[in-house]
Chains A and B, each alone.
Chain A
Amino acid sequence: MDYSIRIGGEAGQGIQTVGDTLSRVFSRSGYHVFTHQDYESRVRGGHNFYQVRVADRQLTAARDRIDILVAFDLDSIAKDAAFLAEQGQIIYDSGALKKKFDGRQFLDIPFTALSVEHGGSRIMANTVATGAILGMLGMGLDILLKIISGTFQKKGEDVIRANVDAATAGYGFAVKECVSCSFSTADKAEQKMLIAGIDAIGAGALASGCKFYAAYPMTPSTGIMNYLAGKAKDYGVVAEQAEDEIAAINMALGASFAGVRAMTASSGGGFALMVEGLSLAAMTETPIVIGLGQRPGPATGLPTRTEQGELQFALYTAHGEFPRIIFAPGDPEQAFHLTNKAFDLSEKYQVPAFVIFDQYLADTQWTHAGFDLDRLVYTDYRLRADALTGLSEYKRHAYSATGISPMAVPGDSRHVVVTDSDEHDEDGHLIEDAETRVKMIDKRLFRKIPLIKKEIAPPLFYGDADPEIVLVGWGSTYGVIKEAVGELSGEEKIAMLHFSEIFPFPDTDVFDYLSLLRNAGKTLCIEQNATSQFARLMKAETGFEFSALINRYDGRPFTVEALLGELRGKS
């Protein structure tokens, strides 16, 4: 069992609702799910799709091959039918599309008419479609009906009943009419967690004790603000929408200075405005976590599409020389735990920490058995009331063997806390002398970097222990590379190296990944950008050069088939 269902249509037709509901039915049934979306930067119209892949084994990527295509517009048939599997089915409503299609693969389901007849209104056409898909797959309706009851609880019994009837009508129609449906589903299992990358970052922040979030809306980062604002009441979080990104990062720094864990996020264009604030965080040694959701640039680029084009930007941007930490999770579970690690290390070393993601990771939903909450790290590194009152003197930027100075909460004792964007002395007051300048650079930069480096985990290894081919990736390409390795493992000695803790660049003491690469015949670096930004970082940090580079920069994610095609072309 490994089916992909694509729901295509215009923005505003409700394809998201159908996709979300189906995914939830599958994850609650215990199946593995992977969903991704393709949409245009508009609120109404255009052509968009939501694709749900469901299987009885772990899924980490999307496939091109479609088994069921739900066409809410004619474009879906024109553009997406080419991807239909041999035994695939296209369902559509000839009444709504005002066109009839012949052929074994087409199934005309009167979504609207059934909605009116059984639900009493046109607006349940999507519920009819959702029921129909479950009927085609030969799955039960019970979980969908439970979801409907939950969703419409507040709207009352009548609305629930109408939707239940609409879903049942769609289901019954498909069971009866889809004579060429040959789908079969595996036995149900224990329900799984279904989570999108962007929510995993939000949940990771919340679980790390993030109390303050300031941002300006920008795709694909907005989901973090929505998530944290939704949790504001239950968890005590202030989520402030700032007037611009410059204000957002400065607000977060103010909150962090005042004693709470703080975060901001944006996409490249918004982060560009934050850059002076990044430098300010470094100089004042104020902890901050920055989410950077990449999308294709330059400038406005392709606002709703995906790219890994901002690694070098995150690495080198901002004036002055200072340490920074950069993580790029590959799936929601990594996103959850690396956001937690970013909060911990940012506060421990008083340096800015990044969680880099992209539209693809933000929007894709994955199933997991659950996240291990025991792995969460929380240490409050700030000096608060009791720890402070006993001190005879206090200097915010005091020299120390580790380069880390005591970080007091202002107002918690009689000691004043002083910091400055100018070069400053241990007290935090501005200076001009050369000696202090050199000592401060030593403290902020040279003492901290070796300690931070020790915290960085090596890349994740998967596949043949003695590989002839090594596929290398970072961030959101993790899942598709992993599936490609799985597909090719029968024919090749192949493995994957995936980097999610990117900077400081991982050492080789725990895992000598460089020897592994040097011993392999072919090493391919796969990136969703035009200039192989990670490959260049690898060369700069280790001197290693990959034997081949694979780049995709059309704003679309790699599917399993597309990556396999590239790999076969290169080998």
Chain B
Amino acid sequence: MTVGPLPLRPSSENSVASLDDYRGLTPAWCPGCGNFSILKTFKEALVELNIEPHQFTIVSGIGQAAKFPHYLKCNTFNGLHGRSLPVATGIRLANHEMPVFAFAGDGDCYGEGGNHLMHTMRKNVNVKLFVHDNQVYGLTKGQASPTTQEGTVTKNMPFGVFSEQLNPMALAVALDCSFVARSFSGDQEHLKSIVKAAIDHKGFCLVDILQPCVSFNKINTHEWYKQRVYHLEPDYDPTDRVKAFERSLEWGERIPIGILYRNSRLSLEERIPIIRDRTLVKQCYDINKLSDILKDFY
């Protein structure tokens, strides 16, 4: 697919980024983890979009997905479990010329950070959230996550998961999230196209990336996903919200991947008048304004 001009991209010094520029620490993920292909695909997308390491920030919380920014050179705020989105909001409001990407797992983002997800969608902060959704807790070794299939037996749930599986796509469409997409770590070309489309989109993006957990999820394996995922039809209209809701409910034998829904709502940053002309971080302390500060109290 073709990518238009980057709405968020800071001015580059005409240098061309190469894959090597993003080299980070050696990943400590399990061999065969779906995260490797997400990392590789994301770096390739950055190279193709020519966004250099110092030009964007990744925020993350806690979990295997949250280690992502250590394995890729970039500005990084690796904060607390579930809290990546409020940190991302703060960064965007202080500097809306800085592209901000959040990387989280299904537990981090749909569980611990559920309230923040709901409200960041509502506010429509221009942050791109990539959820590594492996339907299980990896870092804490195999507990159920919000997207674990109902009935799945875990060590601490010997009678199986009682809660209904969370449907993040339907939730996002219901909240009129600005960009709602799903992809699969095993389909790298598709994933790259979705990553690039999300980076290009102006507004909050939720990209749910289905991926296997080779250590703790013996049900939703690479093969399980591979047999089920299919690309949305080329003539699918992602601007039809009711249709999008219908398709977002599809799960089980067949799982659609692609851009399920998008709209062109104004982002929070665009709505705040005082940062329209200039980012907050570029608005300097003005000592001359101080003399007026106490006038109200007379």
Contact = CB atoms under 8 A, between A and B. Distances in A.
B79 interface: yes
Nearest to B98: A411
A238 B86 contact: no
Main SS at interface, chain B: helix
Interface string A226-250: 0000001111111010111011101
Contacts of A420: 70, 76, 78
Interface stretch (B146-154, B192-200, B222-230, B274-282): B274-282
Contacts of B88: 254
Nearest to B285: A209
B64 to A, nearest CB: 13
A253 B25 contact: no
A380 interface: yes
Contacts of B116: 243, 246-247
Nearest to A428: B76
Given A373-B291, A430-B70, A251 B93 contact: yes
Contacts of B281: 211, 258-260, 409
A478 interface: no
A419 B75 CA distance: 8
Interface of B: 10, 24-25, 52-55, 57, 59, 62, 67, 69-70, 73-80, 83, 85-95, 97-98, 115-116, 118-119, 272-275, 280-281, 283, 285, 287, 289-291, 293-294, 296-298
Sorting the interface of chain A by its residue count into under 10, 10 to 19, 20 to 34 or 35 or more gives: 35 or more
25 contacts: A28-B298, A194-B298, A206-B293, A209-B285, A211-B280, A211-B283, A212-B94, A243-B116, A247-B83, A247-B115, A250-B80, A250-B86, A251-B87, A251-B93, A253-B79, A253-B87, A254-B91, A254-B92, A256-B94, A258-B95, A276-B83, A284-B79, A373-B290, A410-B91, A419-B76
A411 B55 contact: yes
B227 to A, nearest CB: 36
A244 B117 CA distance: 12
Given A238-B274, A409-B281, A417 B70 contact: no
Contacts of B291: 373
Contacts of B86: 214, 242, 246-248, 250-251, 254
A370 B290 CA distance: 13
A195 interface: yes
B145 to A, nearest CB: 20
A422 B81 CA distance: 11
A413 B116 CA distance: 31
A199 B10 CA distance: 38
A191 interface: yes
A255 B94 contact: yes
A232 B55 CA distance: 28
A202 to B, nearest CB: 10
A428 B93 CA distance: 23
Contact of B287 (A212, A258, A378): A378
B297 A277 contact: no
A212 B283 CA distance: 12
Most chain B beta carbons < 10 A, residue from A27, A206, A209: A209
Contacts of A276: 80, 83
Contact of B87 (A234, A257, A376): A257
A373 B73 CA distance: 44
Given A255-B280, A256-B94, 14 more contacts: A193-B294, A238-B274, A242-B86, A242-B119, A244-B115, A251-B90, A253-B79, A258-B57, A280-B80, A409-B281, A414-B54, A416-B76, A420-B76, A429-B25
A203 interface: yes
A417 B75 contact: yes
Contact of A203 (B57, B76, B87, B294): B294
A421 B79 contact: yes
Contact of A277 (B83, B95, B115): B83
Given A211-B280, A243-B116, A255-B93, A411 B297 contact: no
Contact of A252 (B52, B76, B90): B90
Contact of A280 (B54, B57, B79): B79
A416 B75 contact: yes
Contacts of A252: 90
Given A238-B93, A240-B89, A262-B90, A250 B280 contact: no
Contact of B93 (A28, A212, A253, A409): A212
A418 B289 contact: no
Interface string A347-371: 0000000000000000000000011
B158 to A, nearest CB: 31
A207 interface: yes
A373 to B, nearest CB: 6
A417 B83 CA distance: 19
Nearest to A413: B54
Given A203-B293, A203-B294, A250-B86, A378 B285 contact: yes
A417 B76 contact: yes
A243 B294 contact: no
A211 B94 contact: yes
A447 interface: no
B76 A212 contact: no
Most chain A beta carbons < 10 A, residue from B76, B274, B283, B291: B76
A289 B37 CA distance: 41
B94 A277 contact: no
B274 A254 contact: no
A415 interface: yes
A194 B294 CA distance: 10
Given A257-B91, A259-B94, A238 B280 contact: yes
B285 A258 contact: no
Nearest to B77: A257
Nearest to B70: A429
Contacts of B275: 238
B294 A371 contact: yes
Contacts of B297: 193-195, 199, 203
Nearest to A261: B285
